Amino acid sequence: MEMVTLNDGNKIPAVGFGVFLIPNDGATYEAVTRALKAGYRHIDTAAAYFNEAEVGKAVKDSGIPREEIFITSKLWLQDYGYEAAKKGLETSLEKLGLDYVDLYLLHQPYGDVAGAWKALEEAKAEGKIRSIGVSNMTPKIWKEFVPQFATMPAVNQVECNPFFQQKELRALLAENDVKIEAYQPLGHGDETLLSHPDIVKLADKYGKNPGQIILRFEVQDGLIVLPKSTNPQRIAGNIDIFDFELSDGEMDSLRTLDTGKNGLVIGLVGIALGADAKHP
């Protein structure tokens, strides 16, 4: 597995296994167990996913040394502010059954963002978090909040796929070597993306499936990706993208697929209002 070096010097596996919307009825335990067996060493959960306990149990039961698995969780809206964020992190650690998380994110800008960030900075200094970052920050939101932070976030986890390449945000984050973690890197299974002729042509050329071409493109372009699948073959296939390389010309042609638009604005507004979890 290829590793990406973050701006704080820590390393993160370029492909992670996300557990958004996987129920906590044993399904998360099973999925994480399967992912670890398939070779994933990076698991992405969140307080808002209500499945941290099953992630922690699967990691523990795997017998894989803790330091070989990169675990991310995220602070949810009820825990913003300095004191609340400290408690939110403790709850995450308790549920996960861990002494530390590798990465902890402010899931969604809300309320006292600066206070919550300060709590994360202190937890990092205490060794409870290795790296700290944010999620769902558009360029406008980034410019509003990040100048108040003493520590630069290591990542910003946002929606990103070949039709929505986040070029403006990437240029902004590159100024401080902040990495993008792409959720829904396959466009949430968008068939117009997965069956796009340019992608299918490359899949045929390299003997890969279209999803693997998309993920390879994204990782080769510097992204950390969190593809989702419930299909055991695709779960395994989505990390099998390190035995081929797209040419510069192929990378350039895939970069032209960007439309600059996403389909999740309404979902984000909904989640900010606590209405419905439509996005990770």
Q: Which residues are annotated as a binding site for substrate?
A: 107
- Does 231 contact ligand A2P by CB under 6 A? yes
Binding to ligand A2P in span 70-109, by CB under 6 A: none
- Does 192 contact ligand A2P by CB under 6 A? no
Answer for which of 194, 200, 236, 257 binds ligand A2P (CB under 6 A) is 194
- Tell me 25's DSSP state: T
Q: Which residues are annotated as a binding site?
A: 107
Answer for which of 22, 58, 155, 186 binds ligand A2P (CB under 6 A) is 186
Residues 80 and 75: their CA atoms lie apart, in Å, by 8
Catalytic residue check, 183: no
CA 156-179-271 angle, 5° bins: 20
- Does 188 contact ligand A2P by CB under 6 A? yes
Answer for which of 238, 241, 262, 279 binds ligand A2P (CB under 6 A) is 238
Judged by DSSP in three states, 75 sits in strand
Query: Of the listed pieces 70-78, 107-115, 147-155, 225-233, which binds ligand A2P according to CB under 6 A?
Result: 225-233
Q: Which two tokens stand for residue 254?
A: 């895939």
Q: Give me the sheet containing 42-44, strands edge to edge.
A: 17-18, 42-44, 70-75, 101-106, 129-135, 155-159, 179-183, 224-226
Residue 135 main-chain phi, psi, to 5 deg = -145, 155
Residue 35 main-chain phi, psi, to 5 deg = -65, -45
Q: Which two tokens stand for residue 245?
A: 């390389």
- Does 278 contact ligand A2P by CB under 6 A? no
Active site residues: 49
Contacting positions for ligand A2P (CB under 6 A): 184-189, 194, 209-212, 227-231, 234, 237-238
